[in-house]
Structure 1
Amino acid sequence: MKTYIHNFIAYKELLKELVQRDIRIKYRRSFLGMLWSVLNPLGMMIIMTLVFSHVFRAGIDNFPVYLMCGQVIFNFFNEATTMAMQSILGNAPLIRKVYLPKYLFPMSKVCSCFVNLLTSCIALALVVVVTRTPLTWKLVLFVFPILYVFLFSLGIGILLSAVVVTFRDLQHLYGVIITGLTYLTPIFYPIEILPGWVKTLVEMNPLTSFVEMFRDAVLYGVVPGMELHIRCIAACVVALVLGIWSFIKQQDTFILKV
């Protein structure tokens, strides 16, 4: 562990460069650049509000903010894990030529997506202002679910980046998994409308805990309960342990497989 900490400190500037590279590549030749990180969630919020508000509005107050809180968390997880999964394979030429701590590649992808997440929060702030959502001091507690979803996505991203090197079919399967998670996360519907066994399944989804905590801070102005924190922390610890263990176990074979 001391070796990994030492390497992380030694290569922190490289990590910074990788993050900046990912952001530049994503918005290269784009006229509006990073402004799309604000416009995209706003556009999706408007479309989904028009589509789903008539279906679920009876059970949800301030549907635009409710919807966007779910979108911000889920979209970050989706983008971060998908990009991290491709990070080792995508940097295969560099991995073959020089020695670098390989975990920097999935970590840089998650960090660059985290920058987009913070930018998306600007779009959420605009919707909060336009809808005149009451603001309290508890709004500052939004940093907890943001931190939790970052750590959880980092763990899952590192795990996927290691597994996909051996099991390439995961690249195609993951799209199906994400589609399933979209409906198993209460992004555009209230949990209360679900039947018993489906509700239990949705509550077992770690993303549900992150979304609920984010809504508590931003939309409802309440302090998230300790049980919710414990669920989030447990999910992060499990994801990080599994991700780091799988990565360390397989990283020496990457050069032979990429």
Structure 2
Amino acid sequence: MTLRYRRTAVGFLWTLINPLLMIAVSAVVFSLVLRVGLKDYAIFLFSAIIPWNFLNGCIQAGGSSLIANEGLLKKIYVPKQIFPVAASASLLVDSILSTVSLFVIVFALGAKVTTALFFLPVAFLLTGILGISLALIFSIVCVYLRDTSHIITIVMQAVYYMTPIIYPISLVPKQYHIYFQVNPLVYFIGLFRAPIYEGRLPDLHTIGICVVTLCVTSLIGLALFQRFAKTLIFRL
């Protein structure tokens, strides 16, 4: 994380500036211009930006982690899973620190201070495990299918708008709700939106789906590395 901000003018503050600008722009567009009838829209958006930025970052950075360290991997033996795990862990630390810092602004905007906020460490733990698992999966896929890194950017832009991040699901016609119910990101966003925006604990259904999702992705990630770890070096 230190190397990432070396020789930059504001250093770690970039982890605050990026989400803050995203929230500010989206809040102006959707609450003032498009007039989304939602109270405390900035807080609503902030609660979803936290897991989205982290998971999107894990897929992007994790996917390129092995290719970016190709030279090192060809020179010495290093456990290959270290690179996607390290990339995800760094993003998780950034996400936690930026969330704590931005809470000062969010509270000033009227966020609810309830005991439900004590659930956030659990939310970060569950989301962190999912992020590491996704990084492991995409780090392998990007090595064997090089076009994947370019496709990911396009797909994640589509997923961003197909997930209720900048709008509430109540604005979506009921006949389309089924597509959101099968989107696991909806439930991980719920882990943060419930305590931060709604002032309550996430329901057991949301937590259960998140646990099942991260278990499946973890098994897939570990299985892929076990299957391709020995031949991976020949595809770099």
* TM tier relative to shorter chain: over 0.9
**Residue among 48, 53, 57 paired with 2:36:** 57
1:232 match: 210
Secondary structure at the counterpart of residue 69 of structure 1 = helix
> Aligned partners of 1:74 and 1:169: how far apart in 2?
23
Q: Does the CA-based 8 Å contact 1:213-1:228 persist in structure 2? A: yes
My pick for the range that moved more, 121-130 or 228-237, is: 121-130
AA in 2 matched with 1:57: V
- Name the aligned partner's letter for residue 29 of structure 2: V
Unaligned runs of 5+ in 2: none
- Distance, in Å, in 1 between the alignment partners of 2:97 and 2:12 is 8
Counterpart secondary structure, 2:39: coil
Give the % identical residues.
Answer: 26
Cα separation, 2, equivalents of 1:94 and 1:197? 51
Check whether the contact 2:74–2:233 (CA below 8 A) recurs between aligned residues.
yes
**Conserved? CA contact 1:138–1:223, under 8 Å:** yes
- Alignment length, in residue pairs? 235
Residue 197 of structure 1, CA deviation: 4.2
- Which stretches of structure 1, 4 residues or more, deviate above 3 A after TM superposition? none
**1:147 pairs with 2:125:** yes
- Cα distance between partner residues in 2 of 1:116 and 1:44: 16
- How far apart are 1:188 and its partner, in Å? 0.8
Q: Which amino acid aligns with 1:36?
A: W
Query: Normalising by the residue count of structure 2, what TM-score does the alignment of the two structures yield?
Result: 0.95
Aligned to 1:114: 92
How big is the shift at 1:56? 5.0
Equivalences for residues 82-101 of structure 1 within 5 A: 82-101=60-79
Closer/same/farther in 2, CA of residues 256 and 61 from structure 1, 3 Å limit: same
Q: Give the direction of change, closer, same or farther, for the CA distance of 1:46–1:116 in structure 2 (3 Å limit).
A: same
| 2:44/2:197 contact within 8 Å kept | yes
C-alpha separation between the residues in 1 aligned to 2:157 and 2:114?
Answer: 34
Partner of 1:102: 80
Q: Give the structure with the higher percent helix.
A: 1
Change (3 A) 1:124 1:200: farther
The superposition leaves residues 61-117 of structure 1 with CA deviations (integer Å, 9 ceiling, x where unpaired) of 210010011111101111121101011111111111111111001000000111110
Q: TM-score, normalised by structure 1?
A: 0.87
1:219 maps to a residue whose letter is Y
Q: Which residue of 1 aligns with 2:192?
A: 214
Q: Which amino acid aligns with 2:198?
A: Y
Structure 1: gaps (5+ residues): 1-22
CA drift of 1:124 comes to 3.3
Offset from partner CA, 1:215-249 (integer Å, 9 cap, x none): 11112111221111101101101111111111211
For 1:163, which of 132, 141, 144 is the aligned residue?
Answer: 141
Matched, 1:78 2:56: yes
The 1-side partners of 2:216 and 2:15 are apart by 30
The amino acid that maps onto 1:132 is: G
Contact 2:58 2:134 in 1 (8 A): no
Does the aligned pair in 2 maintain the 1:64–1:127 contact within 8 Å? no
Identify which range, 189-198 or 109-118, moves more after superposition. Answer: 189-198
Code of the aligned partner of 1:91? N
Instruction: Tell me by how many angstroms 1:43 deviates.
Output: 1.4
